[in-house]
């Protein structure tokens, strides 16, 4: 069952089981200016996953997204999810700390010339160590190498409180904001975990 997305009205009380989601869309129309080369700390690497199983992707998605109420991909069947995550124009990058996956960034170029940073985040125990900025910078750099006209992302009031600031600090500019009402994914028959 997909979330019902209804435009929010001003000062209307929400029905039980519904949440207000305030979405901010951001874009970058050109690569950021010249930056010093990023050198990852020892034992830290970002690697593209060329083929990923639905099970491993679900582990990443749920581990990273549960605190931020990510729910959309939980409603997909394995074959439907596989068609997205292993599509040649979908680029999944995993942040590793040692041998452990610590987060991921998903660049979706299935609708060129725009490239979407569709998902981005860290495992909860990796937050606050500077890895988020490192992963975002890597995703931006790798994204521009694909040759898009525009790189865009969206965030919402359920994301990490610093997400919007981080995107802006790394060069994204807000261009649209909207409010919608969604089904509370914590009350779904398809739980987050």
User: Could you give the angle at the alpha carbon of 183 between the alpha carbons of 181 and 186, nearest 5°?
Assistant: 135
pLDDT for position 98: 96
Q: 112: pLDDT confidence band, cut at 50, 70 and 90? A: very high
Q: What is the pTM of this model?
A: 0.88
pLDDT at 193 over 70: no
Predicted local confidence at residue 1, as pLDDT: 26
Angle at 105 between CA 170 and CA 175, to 5 degrees: 45
Q: What is the pLDDT of residue 9?
A: 57
**Average pLDDT for residues 154-170, to the nearest whole number?**
97
Query: pLDDT for 17-53, tens place per residue?
Result: 999 999 999 999 999 987 666 677 889 999 999 899 9
């Amino acid at each position: 069952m997909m979330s019902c997305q209804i435009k929010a009205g001003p000062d209307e009380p929400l029905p039980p089981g519904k949440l207000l989601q305030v979405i901010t869309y951001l874009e970058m129309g050109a690569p950021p200016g010249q930056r010093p080369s990023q050198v990852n700390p020892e034992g830290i690497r970002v690697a593209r996953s060329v083929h990923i199983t639905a099970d491993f992707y679900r582990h990443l998605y749920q581990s990273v997204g549960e605190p931020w109420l990510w729910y959309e991909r939980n409603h997909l069947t394995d074959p439907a999810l596989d068609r997205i995550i292993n599509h040649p124009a979908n680029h999944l990058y995993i942040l590793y700390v040692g041998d452990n996956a610590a987060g991921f960034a998903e660049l979706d170029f299935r609708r060129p010339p725009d490239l979407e940073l569709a998902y981005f985040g860290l495992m909860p125990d990796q937050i606050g160590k500077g890895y988020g900025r490192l992963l975002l910078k890597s995703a931006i750099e790798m994204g521009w190498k694909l040759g898009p006209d525009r790189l865009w992302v969206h965030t919402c009031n359920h994301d990490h409180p610093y997400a919007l600031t981080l995107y802006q600090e790394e060069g994204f500019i807000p261009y649209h904001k909207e409010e919608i009402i969604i089904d509370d994914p914590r009350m779904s028959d398809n739980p987050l975990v």
